[in-house]
Structure 1
Amino acid sequence: MNSPNETISQTSPELISALSDEEGRLSTMEKRLAEVVLADVTYATNASITEIAARAGVSPPTVTRFCRRLGCSSFSDFKVQLARSAYVGLRYLKPESVTSTPAEVAEDIVTKAQNALFQMHRALDLTAVERAVALISEAQMVHAFGSGGNSAMIANELQNRLFRLGIRISASNDHGMHLMIAAAAEPGTVVFGSSFTGRNHELVRCFGLLRERGIPTIAITQTGTPVAEAADVVIPVDLPEGRNIFRATSTRFAFLAVVDIIANLVAYADKPRSARILRGIKEQLIRHRDGDDRQLLGD
């Protein structure tokens, strides 16, 4: 165990983790204090030092020493950091009760995906979709930007859907590459960006640069976010996620559906070209892989 004078945590995002004492670094008395705080964070952020000491059965000076052990300069500083970190850590420290049998998990995943698709469809901005399709269909080159697990997947999926329709498109998942592509983009280019949170500041920077250079941008993201404000065309997807930290985000199904809607409309915008390229792809797959035309197109 660490010495009583050794600091455990120095930044607010780590405070909840330090209080949970997963490494067994707190003394018995400190554990009692930590349990009191975690049992009711709202109470702890509003209570006086005397009230917390009484609830834990310790003296006020012990509370002060405890706060300093956690990297806080004072009891007041502890309460400020606790209020900040509670929003970051509590749902991960005490996850909600969730279903866990295969049948329950399967139903939960599928239901959430269905709900995400339904809610996205009901709120879909068709005018924004039409504008995006027009830009992509007429573009000489499309760049798809997305970083992080989900947005990277969306950018790659847009490339996967559009290259087979005759659209010149390149997907990138690297911030540095995004900036260089934005700086090098020529007239006739359209840049698409995916951001689930809308707070990808690197993407905002790229969109700002592209706007200065007259290159149109399209974003799938949340309404009223920095990314939405920086884009020329915004297809908003605003969906609740719930508090189950173990379930993958169902919002990605909505994003994928938006990509499919865009791709389908791009195909319809030039049916002869789309059909010709799709036929050429299928011929190669039949010749070298499938042997007949009964398989999927080639995903």
Structure 2
Amino acid sequence: MDIYTALIDEDDRLTVLEKQLARIVLDDAVFAVNASIVDLAERAEVSPPTVTRFCRRLGFQGYSDFKLQLARSAYVGMRYLKPESADGAATPAAVAEDIVLKAQDALFQMHKGLDLAAVEEAARLLRGARMIHAFGSGGNSAMIAHELQNRLFRLGCRIAASSDHGMNLMQAAACVRGHVVFGSSFTGRNAELVRCFRVLQDNGIPTIALTQGGSPVAEAAAVVIAVDLPEGSNIFRPTSTRFAFLAVIDILANLVAYADRPRATRLLRGIKEQLVRYRDEDDRQILGD
């Protein structure tokens, strides 16, 4: 049961007194979790039996069961019941400014905390690999894995991106000497990626993680590029951490290109020649879509 949906009472199942209780719990979940049944009854100006009936109406065995479920849900529920964005902040100008400023701040904070030694080691592994596998699942990390492929194939790297857990595990098991595996996880709690990294570690295959520092994914990786950025409470705004992760990919790609400039120049020129010949008519357009 989603306890917060029940408390909002969209189906109008609660009595007037029970709605008073629901409002108090929604307004101060911390109080409700720590209050005795008498404390909650007094604040709502109802009797303890009314509190008990209220809990049972919501589908719980009693007040203790209700508090237990409330405590488990509180860390998720309130941010989604009371989102940050106000009506006045929903204009195109306000939204555009908010998105751009958050992206700028994410880039600044990432740059300020970037472990350059880890970035250098990751770039060294990538440019020296016979084969690179890029793993990432979910909307953001899958995009990052494919973006690494998009950046590195044009520099002559053999690279394949995958966002399928089963395929990732099979590819990890099939890796041999000279292979390198890159993994992206915004939360660092991707258990399937951790499993892949442990298989690779056992087989002596280098691994690179772009993830939160100190997370399970970070602990399982050989090289960790940590991106630790706070998330706001506005549930409607896409995470600005995406921009930081993309910037790290660009940094790695640039370092790989600079490590062998003649080769990178030759390959990029060959790609551009085909684009100019069959699509662009000149070389003023960007290199690829």
Q: TM-score range by the shorter chain?
A: over 0.9
Equivalent residue for 1:63, pick from 32, 37, 51 = 51
Aligned-partner SS, 2:93: helix
Secondary structure of 1:235's counterpart equals strand
- CA deviation vs aligned residue, 1:262-282 (integer Å, no higher than 9, x gap): 000000111111111111111
> CA shift at 1:112, angstroms?
0.6
Pair 1:156 & 2:146 matched: yes
Counterparts of 2:202 and 2:243 in 1: how far apart (Å)?
33
Match of residue 43 from structure 1: 31
Structure 1 CA distance for aligned equivalents of residues 192 and 11 of structure 2:
36
Contact 1:143 1:171 in 2 (8 A): yes
CA offsets 1:15-46 (integer angstroms, 9 cap, x no match): 12211223333333322221121121122112
| Percent identical | 72
- Opposite residue 224 of structure 1, the aligned amino acid is G
Deviation at 1:184, TM superposition (A): 1.2
TM (normalized to structure 2)? 0.96
Q: Does 1:233 align with 2:233?
A: no
Deviation at 1:212, TM superposition (A): 0.5
* CA deviations over 1:43-67 (Å, ceiling 9, x no partner): 2112221222233333212211221
- Alignment of 1:139 with 2:148, yes or no, is no
Amino acid at match of 2:29: V
Are positions 1:20 and 2:8 aligned together? yes
Equivalent pair of 1:129/1:262 in contact (CA under 8 Å): yes
Q: Distance in 1 between matches of 2:85 and 2:154?
A: 44
Is this contact kept in 2: 1:17–1:89, CA < 8 A?
Answer: no
1:197 aligns with 2:187: yes
TM-score, normalization by structure 1: 0.93
Is there any run of 5+ residues in structure 1 with no aligned partner, and where? 1-8
Cα-to-partner distance string for 1:165-197 (whole Å, 9 max, x where unaligned): 000000001111111111111211100000000
Counterpart-to-counterpart distance in 1, 2:72 and 2:159: 42
How far does residue 77 in structure 1 lie from its aligned partner after superposition? 2.2
Picking from 256, 270, 280, the partner of 2:260 is: 270
Corresponding residue for residue 107 of structure 1: 97
Cα distance in 2, alignment partners of residues 230 and 97 from structure 1: 37
**Secondary structure of the corresponding residue to residue 177 of structure 2:** coil
Runs of 4+ aligned structure 1 residues displaced above 6 Å come to none
Matching residue's letter, 1:117: L
Distance of 1:205 and 1:241 partners within structure 2: 27
Residue 237 of structure 2: SS of its match in structure 1? coil
Paired residue for 1:121? 111
1:100 & 1:228 partners in 2: Cα distance? 37
C-alpha distance in structure 1 between counterparts of 2:214 and 2:132, whole Å: 25
Q: How many Å separate the matches in 1 of 2:270 and 2:15?
A: 71
Q: Which residue of 1 aligns with 2:41?
A: 53
User: Aligned-pair distance for 1:96?
Assistant: 2.1
Instruction: Indicate the SS of the match to 2:134.
Output: strand
Secondary structure class of the residue paired with 1:31: helix
The equivalent position to 1:75 in structure 2, one of 63, 74, 77, is: 63
Residue 284 of structure 1 aligns with which residue?
274
How far has the Cα of 1:296 moved from its partner? Answer: 0.9
Where does residue 96 of structure 1 map in the other structure? Answer: 84
Q: In 2, are the aligned partners of 1:194 and 1:220 still within 8 Å (CA)?
A: yes
Alignment length (residue pairs): 287
